[in-house]
Amino acid sequence: MDILTGCLDSLRKATYEPLEIIVVDNGSADDSVAVVKEQYPEVRLLELPENLGFAGGCNRGVEYSTGTYVLILNNDTTHEPGWIEPLVRMLESDEQISAVQPKILNSHHRDTFDYAGASGGYMDMFCFPFTRGRIFDELEKDTGQYDDSVEVFWASGTAFLTRRLLFLETDGFDKDLFAHMEEIDFHWKCRLMGYRVMVEPLSVIFHLGGATLAYASPHKTYLNHRNSMLLLLTNYEAMNAIFLGIPRLFMEIVSIIRDAFTGRMDHSSAQIKAFWWLCTHFEVIQQRRDQIKRLRKISDTELMKNLYRRSLVFDYFILDIRTFTHLIFLTAK
């Protein structure tokens, strides 16, 4: 409860106007609904009878909203008072910008980038995401090295501003993903429609992280691996999905064996479960491919200009490349 009230107290200090705040209650069992009604009468409360996941909850919240822009925001965040204005200015500067993310720092260590988004997200060809400031579990200190406003591949679901009608046009977050990587999927679809995604580090927020699903959770491992492979199989054109899917399958097998031999059997099992889900849900894969085909306006060749065209797994675990700056330097060589 302190997490939610901390976020709402922080939003009360926001200087941007007009601001419509919507809290989506995803079938909670605590007294959060009563607290919001009593202590935050200015907040619009949307009560859902069951937990629809992050994806489903956000979709319902956007449908319930009335603004031109929508700000997807985790409840375990706090913010500087003027954090919304730079995001709006960036989005309004170019109609081809679909979303803008702030710089996200860790609430416990405010000089360190947060795991969930840092200063803008990237992805390698095999659908392994990383950020400016975080590669796998390696977090960088914020020394201003990523304070430039640049184009990125994806914006973190922790906090990003987007256009409401565009969100609805793409059907928002895929509810089959439930949680994790649904924002990458959304931004990928927008990119295939010809839009750009930006980060605006003039806007700063702080993220607690792991408040809903701990980073060490096997279920998080399951969702991350399943959803990542699902995106690879559906968001690429058919030949690229096959060409990149084969080495990705090999990486999954190595990861399963590695977790098993290091005593992380629950995580190894979670990855096997993720692969089995894909094998038994061909109808979901086909439905997603059909949707992407309807939205697509650019080819994978054009899209890949904004991907890391090497294997992040190889560069991190074999070459021991641990910072975003070194990854980009390696690509440019």
Burial of 122 (0-12, 13-18, 19+ CB in 10 A): buried
pLDDT at 328 (0 to 100) = 84
Tell me the per-residue pLDDT of 169-182, one tens digit each, with 9 for 90 and over. 999 999 999 989 99
pLDDT at 223 (0 to 100) = 96
Query: Worst-scoring range by mean pLDDT, 11-20, 61-70, 82-91, 319-328?
Result: 319-328
pLDDT at 210 (0 to 100) = 57
What value does the mean pLDDT take over residues 241-260?
Answer: 97
Q: What is the 3-state secondary structure (H, E, C) of 279-311?
A: HCCHHHHHHHHHHHHHHCCCCHHHHHHHCECCC
How high does pLDDT run on average in the chain? 95
Work out the pLDDT band at 134, boundaries 50, 70, 90: very high
Percent share of the chain, pLDDT over 70 = 97
Work out the pLDDT band at 31, boundaries 50, 70, 90: confident
pLDDT > 80? residue 209: no
What value does the mean pLDDT take over residues 27-53?
Answer: 92
* CA nearest to 51, candidates 158, 178, 210, 223: 178
Tokens 């009593």, located at residue: 38
pLDDT > 90? residue 275: yes
pTM of the model: 0.95
pLDDT at 216 (0 to 100) = 78
144's tokens: 């201003």
Q: What is the CA radius of gyration of the chain?
A: 19
Compute the Cα dihedral for 115, 99, 190, 73 and give only its sign. positive
Instruction: Give all domains of the chain, ordered by start, each with its CATH number.
Output: 2-207 (3.90.550.10), 218-332 (no CATH)
pLDDT at 332 (0 to 100) = 67
pLDDT at 162 (0 to 100) = 98
Q: Which residues contact 33 (CB under 8 A, 6 or more apart)?
A: 25, 45, 47
Greatest alpha-carbon span in the chain: 58
pLDDT at 214 (0 to 100) = 61
Report the alpha-carbon distance of residue 52 to residue 60 in Å, rounded: 9
What value does the mean pLDDT take over residues 267-296?
Answer: 97
What value does the mean pLDDT take over residues 285-306?
Answer: 97
What value does the mean pLDDT take over residues 45-50?
Answer: 94
pLDDT at 213 (0 to 100) = 54
